[in-house]
Amino acid sequence: MVDTAPRSTGADGVEGGVGLTALLVAAARAIETHRPDSLAQDVYAEHFVLAAPASAHWPVRPEQAPDGDANPLWGRFARYFGLRTRVLDDFLLRSVRTGARQVVLLGAGLDARAFRLDWPTDCVIFEIDRGGVLGFKHQVLDALAAVPRATRVPVAVDLRADWAGALTAAGFDPAAPTAWLAEGLLFYLPRAAEAGLIGTVDRLSAAGSALAFEVKLEKDLLAYRDSPLYTSTREQLGIDLLDLFSKEQRPDSAACLARSGWSTSVRTPFDFTRRHGRGPLPEENDALAGNRWVFADRPER
């Protein structure tokens, strides 16, 4: 197994804006890891949280969360992220077991899948994110002497720049089937940027490729401004997710892929709660009501 990561000790880009949300997801994964009914295991997640001054005081175990599962942030919202982690883990592993040998994590953040999932030994995992985020990630993983379970190729580039060129220069082969993942990313992108990203994935995907991403359907995000999830995140962490999300009308990326010949499936998180027997279920004033997880496959020609 090979890790071709450049080494850096900088944490720029992690403790502000979208970087704080990466730490939030890491904290949720840490809590999920220590639940007795855990859906996903990520032993690295708590180390990211504790290494960043902005999040060092956050809970990383269920018993550390104020009011436990009754806390909207560290209870229901954290369980949402735990469920999402499990569902997308399953998607990636299923994709590589059915032929994909390249995995591209778009906006990889503090994702530790290269280190914790059981990959085929000939699999290559490309992690695309800003250099500051990857640098912080390398610092923490190096301190743990973590070893990736497949060839890992970090690609330090902003998704607003020529990430496709940087990915290809890093060794990505557009003629080979690829599993693509955009987890918790598209909410933050302007409409044109989302359309451009999906179009680029379409262009770079050979037959047999697969893609999973998350979208929101709400036409008016501010209608949920006082929902318990958004309120608790603002009050407990100082993160206003609605200020970070793009307010532009979203493109129908699933329909765009279908028009390009992909087979698509759009699911709610609650579908998987029912499948796994745990996770969030619908409630009043629900900030998760418009969340959808999209799965797309490009059939063999």
Tell me the domain boundaries of the chain: 18-277+290-297
Q: End-to-end distance of the chain based on CA atoms, in angstroms?
A: 32
Cβ-proximal residues to 264 (8 Å cutoff; 6+ apart), any chain: 254, 255, 257, 258, 294, 295, 296, 297
Q: Provide φ and ψ at 128, rounded to 5°.
A: -100, 125
Integer CA distances (angstroms), 278 to 52, 83, 275, in order: 30, 8, 8
Cβ atoms of residues 292 and 266 within 8 Å = yes
Q: Given this model, what pLDDT does residue 204 score?
A: 98
Measured distance CA(125)–CA(109) in Å, rounded: 14
The residue type found at 140 is V
Measured distance CA(165)–CA(171) in Å, rounded: 10
pTM of the entire predicted model: 0.95
Q: Given this model, what pLDDT does residue 13 score?
A: 58
Integer CA distances (angstroms), 11 to 16, 19, 113, 153, 195, in order: 10, 10, 20, 19, 30
Q: Given this model, what pLDDT does residue 9 score?
A: 39
pLDDT in tens, the chain (301 residues): 656 555 443 444 566 655 899 999 999 999 999 999 999 999 999 999 999 999 999 999 999 999 999 999 999 999 999 999 999 999 999 999 999 999 999 999 999 999 999 999 899 999 999 999 999 999 999 999 999 999 999 999 999 999 999 999 999 999 999 999 999 999 999 999 999 999 999 999 999 999 999 998 876 677 888 999 999 999 999 999 999 998 888 899 999 999 999 999 999 999 999 999 999 999 999 999 999 999 999 998 6
Q: Given this model, what pLDDT does residue 7 score?
A: 46
Topology of domain 18-277+290-297, per CATH?
A: Rossmann fold (3.40.50)
The residue type found at 237 is L
Q: Given this model, what pLDDT does residue 295 score?
A: 98
